[in-house]
């Protein structure tokens, strides 16, 4: 089986790249997907493509909905959804994605430092694994995806 | 029709009470539900009921899962899910609930101050209304629930 | 069994009232639901409740989403969805409701004059009955809802 | 990921061709699907294949159901449903498709001129993007489908 | 719990009446539902309510769809679907109902004489019980519905 | 798109072969599936594989369930389910398959002679097309599956 | 909200009675459901109601399916499924019920002694709480079901 | 069609290998999947990958959830789930998988010796076939998967 894996959350560190290298080295049969990780492009896509909004609310609204075409489709197609929380920003979109994935019955893996355990407890409670490093995530994938031979 | 409404999110202000008064004054045919809003009880319910955990992670985990029996059932039974974001704490559980409700196709109303618009843009994009005050939420309920006569 | 019936579409004639009288005379165990049929209130609800929009697009958008809280919930709760097309306006919302109801597997009854048969053929094709008068709709309800005794 | 995109609505302009050229130039991994766009063939398919009907209602009914084999299957298989409204005809089938797609949780993009904003407000409210030109639709696809690299 | 039970199939013997008496004597918390069992009314309802058809095919079609408003709704609301096959007629509608109920995950009980075992084997294979008499069906209901005390 | 088509029903005429030839000549992108059409093998598979049963009921039961592994999986994977009724036997399995497919929202095409119209009216009412010859079925497939070019 | 709770598993101790007393004392708005707990009646219901089987396999099969009418319906109607494992018998039906409930997204609470932790680890992993005593289960219910006031 | 088959249950005999050889000899278009069958690796994966737990309960819990990423995904992707019960251990995970697969509507085949018939009766009742040897399972697969030619 080929597995689809969606990498949600933090866009300001190289955790996706680490996971990508790990699964490539392990030659796992996976495709990795992600949101648009160019912060400015993601914020501005509504205005850029469909025309400038006067109100910040509608600028954000239009952009977020265009991004949702990508993110919701990819979450729905995923077998595993990995959600990374970093130490900056509100990251409510990451928690939203985790709730969305959980309600669809996806296998959720959460990736965060131990000092975020208490505020993330409800998110962690919906996950099948809580990792602290990208290397652990790769090990989990390597373990669960190892094919019958 | 009787409507079930779940009030998710912030537990440190009286917004639920304001909505409750509003719908009672309007005599709307609704039942309002909420998570356990006693912060300490909610944090400690796992240890209190099932026994003390040595590790903070598992203490939180056990408590969050017990709380999930309540919150997921009530979200699944709800016709409308109202999610309130305040100015304190990470509130990832509120964003998780919004994602969970959205994936189930529930009508979501988000309630927050305008200065949270940018970080909440993905949550707002999944909502059918974004309000700034409990009074506005009551007006929306009063408008959409008004029966045929 | 008590049946929930949603009456979608035209708001400028008294067809809902005729059906209401008919089912009351027949003493059918039904509840009738409808969208907000006050045209101005429906168009303006977003601005009225949540604040005035500068752009007509967002004014309409905000209002339509608030109305969707009501219409989608009531369609999802309905056993039968009756959709009326009149001779005025575009009425794309009525056709949208018919498609929404059909995809959810609801029993759809369409009500329109014979001269609309050709443009409504795709909508009619998804219906379990196509009636020309409210009286016929009442007869259908009277026939299908008659209880075992 | 390969994306399936269904192009619903207007059959009397070259908007599908423009989108096709755009996605081919961008080398996007997409398949584009459409209803039968030969107006006469679509209207007559019931009589042509299964035999002539005396009544216009049943001629239309038979044809619309055969067309529904195609359209409903393709909408159900689609990741994105794009619905185009032009300036002619009732186009209730386009609004029906939008409602059908929305109820299935598909990402809907609506394409129409600004003067149709008010009558299409309920359809637009269910969409993740509202575009005015095929070029904008191509830009959205180009943005959301750009793969992780 | 109150149980909804749908009694599908044969309309020319008193098996529904026997089950009704049995569950009333046992004071079971059940509601029994059935299709319209007046053969002529059922065959003619399309023409009677919506106008006479020239073609027998469309007369039957129109009637069957009106009947489907009742039968499909009641099957979807049922906890248990009981399907009776007698010794007369094709009874394809009964087998259709059994397939429809099975696909929805309903508990199906089939009721027929032993000499129909071979032709009904696929229907029986989808059932949780195969009874030969209405009295056995009542005993099953009495056994499975007996409440905790 | 590649279409999966399941051919249910009569096993004593060459209608499947005719459809197969037709779709091959038209070079349609379809896969055709069917139940085991060897009557004796189908009746005896339970006893042959799992051991002889003393009772005819359980012999049939065991065989029908093994056949159901094939038939239910193939119906669930199908885009279109074609159900053929001939002039012999009870054919309740064909009507069961039609009901099963209809409840899953599959596009159903029924194929039968006009003299079966009245007893098949409920099955026909759930279909998107009712054909009288395999050639008509091929024409329908040829029409609905014609790709965008 | 009124909660439906299904009590699956061990039938040879008084754990159901203890939970019943607990929720009655706490005046919780719950209904408790259970399988038929009369061991002999449960084993023999097929033979008793539908006639004696020669083969032990089919005797068990017929009985288990009749019991499934009750157990599957009650699990599907339940908000919470509590599964008790004791120290006797194989209890594969209890583990089957836990898997069935988990796949339906029900909140599962498992109740067992600590010495069963290792063999029950996969069942526990699907639960929202693992209790050791009926009193703990009552406390959980009392905590999660406490209404908003 | 290519079939996905999940082989759940006993990990201490060579039944999976026998089925693998059988389907390879028969050249069936199937992929076989299984849980991690290295007992120690499966028990320890949580501690090994994510860090050592002090409590046996949480060690098991963490491991079981990681294993669930694999097992639930593979069951959800399967067309047929084969569950083997041997003569050792509690094997509650096998019964859990059977219940999980049954609730998802998968075709379940159970494989066990006749002396386990009585304790497995509820599991067998949810299966479409109950086999005693891997060779019988291969014969069933060979029979149901034989393609149309």
Q: Determine the residue of chain G that is closest to H122 in CA distance.
A: G64
Q: Is the pLDDT of residue D148 over 60?
A: no
Tell me if A49 and D140 make a contact (CB, 8 A cut-off). Answer: yes
Tell me if D58 and E55 make a contact (CB, 8 A cut-off). Answer: yes
Q: Which of G8, G70, G71 is best to mutate for the E interface (most E CBs within 10 A)?
A: G70
- Scanning the structure block, which residue is given the tokens 């704490």? B89
Measure the CA–CA gap between E20 and E37, rounded to whole angstroms. 15
Judging contacts by C-beta atoms under 8 Å, the chain D residues touching residue F132 are 50
Judging contacts by C-beta atoms under 8 Å, the chain D residues touching residue E58 are 55, 58
Tell me if F54 and G55 make a contact (CB, 8 A cut-off). Answer: yes
Structure tokens at E123: 């229907």
Judging contacts by C-beta atoms under 8 Å, the chain B residues touching residue A81 are none
D25 with D13: CB under 8 angstroms? no
Judging contacts by C-beta atoms under 8 Å, the chain D residues touching residue F79 are 73
Residues of D with CB under 8 A from a CB of E: 54-55, 58
Judging contacts by C-beta atoms under 8 Å, the chain H residues touching residue F4 are 1
**Cross-chain CB nearest to H66 (options A105, A144, A146):** A144
pLDDT single digits (tens) B66-104: 999 999 999 999 999 999 999 988 999 999 999 999 999
**Cross-chain CB nearest to C69 (options B105, B136, B144):** B144
Q: Is the pLDDT of residue A103 over 50?
A: yes
Q: Is the dihedral of CA D89, D93, D97, D103 positive or negative?
A: positive
Q: How confident is the model at residue A57 (pLDDT cuts 50, 70, 90)?
A: very high
Instruction: Report pLDDT for A147.
Output: 53
DSSP β-bridge partners for residue A3: A30
H-state helical runs in chain G: 15-25, 39-50, 56-77, 92-103, 121-125, 134-145
Residue B55 C-alpha, separation from nearest chain H C-alpha, in angstroms: 9
Measure the CA–CA gap between A17 and A32, rounded to whole angstroms. 10
Tell me if F143 and D62 make a contact (CB, 8 A cut-off). Answer: no
pLDDT single digits (tens) F8-60: 999 999 999 999 999 999 999 999 999 999 999 999 999 999 999 999 999 99
Closest C-alpha to D98, from D121, D82, D118, D114: D82
Residue E136 C-alpha, separation from nearest chain G C-alpha, in angstroms: 6
pLDDT single digits (tens) F81-135: 999 999 988 999 999 999 999 999 999 999 999 999 999 999 999 999 999 999 9
Closest C-alpha to A25, from A112, A135, A148: A135
Phi-psi region of H91 (alpha: psi -120 to 50; beta: other; left: phi over 0): left
pTM of the model: 0.97
C119 with D90: CB under 8 angstroms? yes
Tell me if E54 and D58 make a contact (CB, 8 A cut-off). Answer: no
Measure the CA–CA gap between H145 and A38, rounded to whole angstroms. 48
Instruction: Report pLDDT for C57.
Output: 97
Structure tokens at D106: 């598909």
**Cross-chain CB nearest to F93 (options E57, E94, E122):** E122
Percent of chain B with pLDDT over 90: 96
DSSP string, B49-89: HH---SSHHHHHHHHHHHHHHHHHHHHHH-SEEEEE--SSS
Judging contacts by C-beta atoms under 8 Å, the chain E residues touching residue D58 are 55, 58
**Cross-chain CB nearest to E103 (options F85, F95, F103):** F103
Touch criterion met for C and G (3+ Cβ pairs within 8 Å): no
Q: Determine the residue of chain D that is closest to C60 in CA distance.
A: D121
Measure the CA–CA gap between G121 and H46, rounded to whole angstroms. 12
Q: In this complex, which chains have at least 3 CB pairs below 8 Å with chain A?
A: B, C, D, H
- Scanning the structure block, which residue is given the tokens 């498609």? C99
Judging contacts by C-beta atoms under 8 Å, the chain B residues touching residue H58 are 55, 58
Closest C-alpha to H69, from A106, G119, B58: A106
Closest C-alpha to D74, from D108, D31, D33, D109: D33
Q: Determine the residue of chain C that is closest to D104 in CA distance.
A: C103
Tell me if C124 and D100 make a contact (CB, 8 A cut-off). Answer: no
- Cα–Cα distances (Å) from H72 to E43, H9, H24, in that order, read 48, 13, 25
Tell me if F148 and D4 make a contact (CB, 8 A cut-off). Answer: no
- Scanning the structure block, which residue is given the tokens 């594989």? F49
Measure the CA–CA gap between G28 and G23, rounded to whole angstroms. 5
Measure the CA–CA gap between A125 and B63, rounded to whole angstroms. 9
pLDDT single digits (tens) D82-131: 999 999 889 999 999 999 999 999 999 999 999 999 999 999 999 999 99
Q: Which of D51, D58, D59 is best to mutate for the E interface (most E CBs within 10 A)?
A: D58
pLDDT single digits (tens) F58-77: 999 999 999 999 999 999 99
Tell me if A144 and H31 make a contact (CB, 8 A cut-off). Answer: no
Measure the CA–CA gap between A65 and A62, rounded to whole angstroms. 5
Tell me if A61 and B104 make a contact (CB, 8 A cut-off). Answer: no
Measure the CA–CA gap between E148 and E138, rounded to whole angstroms. 19
Q: Mean pLDDT of all residues in chain D?
A: 96
- Mean pLDDT confidence for D22-51: 96
Instruction: List, edge to edge, every strand of the sheet that includes B107-111.
Output: B30-33, B3-9, B80-84, B107-111, B129-131
Judging contacts by C-beta atoms under 8 Å, the chain B residues touching residue C72 are 107
Percent of chain D with pLDDT over 70: 98
Structure tokens at C97: 């409701």
Tell me if E90 and F121 make a contact (CB, 8 A cut-off). Answer: no
Main-chain dihedrals φ then ψ at residue C9, nearest 5 degrees: 110, -150
Tell me if F143 and D66 make a contact (CB, 8 A cut-off). Answer: yes
Structure tokens at C119: 């443009």
Q: Determine the residue of chain H that is closest to G120 in CA distance.
A: H92
Structure tokens at F28: 């349609």
Closest C-alpha to H132, from H100, H96, H85: H85
G8 with G36: CB under 8 angstroms? no
3-state DSSP of C71-98 = HHHHHHHCCEEEEECCCCCCCHHHHHHH
Q: How confident is the model at residue D146 (pLDDT cuts 50, 70, 90)?
A: confident
pLDDT single digits (tens) C105-132: 999 999 999 999 999 999 999 999 999 9
Measure the CA–CA gap between D141 and F37, rounded to whole angstroms. 46
Name the DSSP letter for residue A116: G
Tell me if C136 and E67 make a contact (CB, 8 A cut-off). Answer: no
Closest C-alpha to H35, from C1, E55, A147: A147
Q: Determine the residue of chain C that is closest to D117 in CA distance.
A: C57
pLDDT single digits (tens) B105-126: 999 999 999 999 999 999 999 9
Q: Mean pLDDT of all residues in chain C?
A: 96
pLDDT along chain H (149 residues), means of 10: 97 96 96 96 98 97 98 98 95 98 98 97 98 98 77
DSSP β-bridge partners for residue E111: E84, E131
**Cross-chain CB nearest to F64 (options E57, E93, E122):** E122
Q: Determine the residue of chain A that is closest to D131 in CA distance.
A: A50
Judging contacts by C-beta atoms under 8 Å, the chain A residues touching residue H45 are 143
Instruction: Report pLDDT for A90.
Output: 93
Measure the CA–CA gap between B97 and B75, rounded to whole angstroms. 8
pLDDT single digits (tens) G3-53: 999 999 999 999 999 999 999 999 999 999 999 999 999 999 999 999 999
Residue H118 C-alpha, separation from nearest chain A C-alpha, in angstroms: 32
Tell me if H33 and A131 make a contact (CB, 8 A cut-off). Answer: no
- Cα–Cα distances (Å) from B146 to B8, C35, C44, D137, in that order, read 23, 10, 16, 38
Judging contacts by C-beta atoms under 8 Å, the chain E residues touching residue C127 are 65
Q: How confident is the model at residue F147 (pLDDT cuts 50, 70, 90)?
A: low
Q: Are strands E30-33 and E3-9 parallel, antiparallel or unpaired?
A: parallel
Judging contacts by C-beta atoms under 8 Å, the chain G residues touching residue F54 are 54-55
- Scanning the structure block, which residue is given the tokens 């309002």? B32
**Cross-chain CB nearest to D144 (options A34, A50, A69):** A69
Instruction: Report pLDDT for E110.
Output: 98
Tell me if H66 and A148 make a contact (CB, 8 A cut-off). Answer: no
DSSP β-bridge partners for residue C140: none
Q: Determine the residue of chain H that is closest to B62 in CA distance.
A: H58
**Cross-chain CB nearest to G96 (options H56, H90, H98):** H98
Residue F73 C-alpha, separation from nearest chain D C-alpha, in angstroms: 18
Residue C116 C-alpha, separation from nearest chain B C-alpha, in angstroms: 28
pLDDT single digits (tens) E79-108: 999 999 999 889 999 999 999 999 999 999
**Cross-chain CB nearest to B97 (options A56, A99, A104):** A99
Q: How confident is the model at residue G148 (pLDDT cuts 50, 70, 90)?
A: very low
Q: Determine the residue of chain G that is closest to F53 in CA distance.
A: G55
SS3 assignment, position E3: strand
pLDDT single digits (tens) G59-70: 999 999 999 999
Q: Is the pLDDT of residue F143 over 80?
A: yes
**Distance between the two ends of chain F, CA-based, in angstroms?**
13
Burial pattern A48-79, b for ≥16 Cβ within 10 A else e, equals: ebbeebeeebbbbbbbbbbbbbbbbbbbbebb
Q: In this complex, which chains have at least 3 CB pairs below 8 Å with chain G?
A: B, E, F, H
Measure the CA–CA gap between A6 and D1, rounded to whole angstroms. 12
């Amino acid at each position: 089986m080929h597995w689809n894996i969606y990498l949600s959350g933090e866009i300001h560190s190289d955790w996706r790249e680490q996971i990508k290298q790990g699964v490539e080295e392990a030659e796992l049969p996976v495709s990795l997907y992600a949101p648009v990780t160019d912060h400015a492009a993601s914020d501005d896509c509504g205005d850029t493509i469909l025309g400038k909004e006067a109100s910040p609310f509608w600028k954000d609204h239009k952009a977020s909905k265009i991004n949702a075409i990508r993110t919701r489709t990819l979450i729905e197609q995923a077998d595993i959804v990995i959600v990374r929380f970093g130490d900056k920003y509100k990251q409510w979109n990451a928690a939203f994605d985790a709730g969305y994935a959980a309600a669809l019955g996806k296998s959720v893996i959460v990736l965060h430092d131990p000092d975020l355990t208490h505020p993330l407890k409800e998110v962690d409670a919906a996950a099948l694994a809580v990792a602290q490093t990208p290397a652990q995530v790769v090990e989990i994938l390597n373990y669960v995806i190892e094919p019958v031979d």
